[in-house]
Structure 1
């Protein structure tokens, strides 16, 4: 019952996205460009959540030396380590779930967009047979010829690598820096070209957004150090 409700909600979002896509396509008369413009529009609409997520990431990056120090100090005591990490988060006014919330808010919209581009005709978007950069938007990437496949796979892998490089500051995440680009390149090769256009443009816009926020958002303060035993002697 719950899964059926989720499917209906995503379908409703896909219908809204179809209306927006058709409106923009009526202006530019090119579904490929329309997909890119709608993707950019989504990035702008979701920018406030992206800013929150980026601020959390920057603050978490500042805290990494303290977290690693706690992990080293309490590596034989996981319960105490968890307690100390929670106290550190509390002192620094950080909610460990706040970094996930913006992503959770974005997911329904992206799933709706994915559903629309996977089955455009179902939502009244006549994309079959239309081309962008000489490639059919409704045809699987791997069926569009060797050159197109190589170019699209390389662009996907590089843009995903750049994106992952921004969030893989933790050594435990370094493996994903290389696994995700290969995985996404393989997935993209199995998708209709229209969906690949969305994925590549979304990733590239994500990289641009990251560098823009890095430039305009100030680094967070180093935070509050716990009071030491000598603090009372200096009064």
Structure 2
């Protein structure tokens, strides 16, 4: 007499779990290969200097082309100092997420309900990044969208934020064109973790907070090799 269907399925699941190939902790080989060029100090400096380089080059372009280039310069500048997820970057609201203090400081803030793992995000933006954002908002963005648009990276009709995939693709194309590197938006998070942990070995808790992981195990599993 054959076993009931439920027992047979349970037995198959147990076999499948024993046979499953588990990926070892750490980054994929592809992401490690993409990070490797940035271990070269000269290439890393070029990567960090890219927003300024884009702004300087954009100065000689027609207004719309200049504004588009500045938009990507701003996005890269933010990712370099605030390794946030691509959805959060794409949905930055000027009137909500960029919080300006009386002392001149500007904070990038996301509530727990806006973040993938329900961990609130708060970064103090460096003054050069704030200055770049302000130059874009006052001198370039009005060419692209209607006045009063609240998003930093808006759709061209101003009715919604840009699609995260479209913004990510533009960032990757720009970096490939300028530096010859294959860098997607999430790789900025891996880069931040790599630089921090190589400069501060063992300080995984700070890396966890930097990336906004809910559990330290997530950081340890992803970046054990650093």
Q: TM-score, normalised by structure 1?
A: 0.26
Report which of the two has the higher share of helix: 1
Q: TM-score, normalised by structure 2?
A: 0.26
Whose RCO is larger (CA < 8 A, sep 6+)?
A: 1
